[in-house]
Amino acid sequence: MVSGRAEIDVTIIMPCLNEAISLPACIANARAALALMYERFGLAGEIVIADNGSTDGSQAIATALGARCVAVPRRGYGAALIGGATAAHGRYLVMGDADGSYDFRDAVPMVGRLMQGADLCMGNRFQGGIAPGAMPWKNRYIGNPILTGILNILFRSGIGDAHCGIRALTRPCFDSLRLSGDGMEFASEMVIKATLKGAKIVEVPATLSKDLRDRPPHLRPWRDGWRHLRYLLMLSPAWIFAIPAAVLGILAVAILGASTVAALGAKAGVTIFGNYWVVLAGGLLTISHTAALLAAAGHNYGVREGYRQRSGRSRVLARWVSLETMLIGGIGCLAVGLGLLGYLVSYWSANQFQPILNVLPAVLGTSLVVIGAQNVLGGFLLSIIGGNDADFMKAVPQSAPALVPVTASEPALARELA
């Protein structure tokens, strides 16, 4: 490792699970990268091996080669990187695999971009070059482009290679993101949460070589692809809940509204869509209301956890929406629904309990009862998620380190960036 000062500026972190074969080459490569950083920027560095329970002597190899080995009991790619980053001493953190597939010298310009003000710098293998046999075709042409494309659609990250294994970020950025993903979804989590927090994200080219292992990689394309996809959806309440709620709600209201107008202006028992469509619309309306509650719960949870910012719409809603207003609205819907159903019972008994041909009143009454009950229960759920606060839309996020830019004043930096 490079050492010219007591302070550690850069930490290169490698997750490790039985990497005895490739570890010496990776540590030597990381040393070369740190030497370049010291030469160009005057930054001192260290190498941290985040060991995830190796049984092949990787820990002893890392220590003998001058790296600092950190034991991470929680298993998983993400867990290892989180444990290594938490134990790191540097204010710039570089993450890369310990299988020899990445060249840590690619991290030199990454750290340079961090010194210029970026919070997170991603490598882009499609710009830097992928060696033959380094990436399976299904990952290169299907998995990575699709998952990166979905991530950019859902979160507008503007990243060309969201799953590149070499990346760099500042210590304040890492602390503020509160990353928690155990597995490969950690790669997506970092980009998503950095985007949601308004971090400055940049990319530089990175190369990918065939790894040095004599065994299959830990990556399982289909399993880990699904873990990435489900994580994208879990962190996107707007797409998974709010948009479906809006679409279903509009469709249900259109059917019920048209049927109501037709029923009021036509002979008894006639609706424009027919009874089956009316029953379907009632179901869609209650599903829409449930999805809207879940969208609010997901958004408020993200705000409270500190990785999502309040939207303009939620600030406006905060003036009107609280536990009390949701209880009032829910009880109002219950009262109207029960009143409508009570009227139907009265009408039914007054007509010698003959079948009622038009199901529209019954569907409307039942839907209002269900929506009212959901509103009451949902109000308490949102209050619990908001920290047991009745004004859950105004709930204050949990304290998290701010995204403070990390700057350096070394003369070498000034010469490099001039």
pLDDT tens track for 95-115: 999 999 999 999 999 999 999
The confidence band for 287, taking pLDDT boundaries of 50, 70 and 90, is: very high
Quote the pLDDT of residue 417.
47
Whether the per-residue pLDDT at 36 is higher than 60: the answer is yes
Quote the pLDDT of residue 406.
57
Quote the pLDDT of residue 391.
83
Quote the pLDDT of residue 405.
58
* 396 burial level (CB within 10 Å; 0-12, 13-18, 19+): exposed
Lay out the sheet containing 92-95: strands in order across: 68-71, 45-51, 10-16, 92-95, 167-170, 120-124, 201-205
For a pLDDT cut of 90, what percent of the chain falls above it? 58
Across-strand partners of 70? 50
Whether the per-residue pLDDT at 411 is higher than 90: the answer is no
Tell me the average pLDDT across 358-384. 93
User: At what angle are helices 221-234 and 144-155 packed, to 10 degrees?
Assistant: 0
66 vs 352, more confident: 66
Quote the pLDDT of residue 140.
84
Please give the Cα distance from 208 to 125 (Å, whole number): 6
For 10-235, which CATH superfamily applies?
Spore Coat Polysaccharide Biosynthesis Protein SpsA; Chain A (3.90.550.10)
Q: Which of 139, 182, 178, 180 is nearest to 161 (CA)?
A: 139
SS3 string of 152-216?
Answer: HHHHCCCCCCCCCCCEEEEHHHHHHHCCCCCCCCHHHHHHHHHHHCCCCEEEEECCECCCCCCCC
Q: Mean pLDDT for the chain?
A: 86
pLDDT tens-digit map of 163-194: 899 999 999 999 999 998 888 888 889 999 99
Quote the pLDDT of residue 22.
94
Quote the pLDDT of residue 6.
52
Task: Give kind and range of the element (H or E) at residue 356.
Answer: none
162 vs 350, more confident: 162
Quote the pLDDT of residue 418.
39
Quote the pLDDT of residue 227.
77
Which sequence spans correspond to the domains of the chain?
10-235, 237-394
Quote the pLDDT of residue 397.
62
List the structure tokens of 81: 């990187």
pLDDT tens-digit map of 203-254: 999 999 998 876 666 566 677 778 778 888 888 898 999 999 999 999 999 9
CA distances 34 to 30, 198, 253, Å, are 6, 29, 62
Across-strand partners of 92? 10, 170
Quote the pLDDT of residue 401.
55
Task: Give kind and range of the element (H or E) at residue 346.
Answer: helix 323-350
Tell me the average pLDDT across 358-383. 93
Are 385 and 392 in contact by the 8 Å Cβ rule? The answer is yes
- Beta-carbon count within 10 A of 92 CB: 29
Tell me the average pLDDT across 351-377. 88
Range with the lowest mean pLDDT among 14-28, 82-96, 103-117, 351-365?
Answer: 351-365
319 vs 329, more confident: 329
Whether the per-residue pLDDT at 47 is higher than 70: the answer is yes
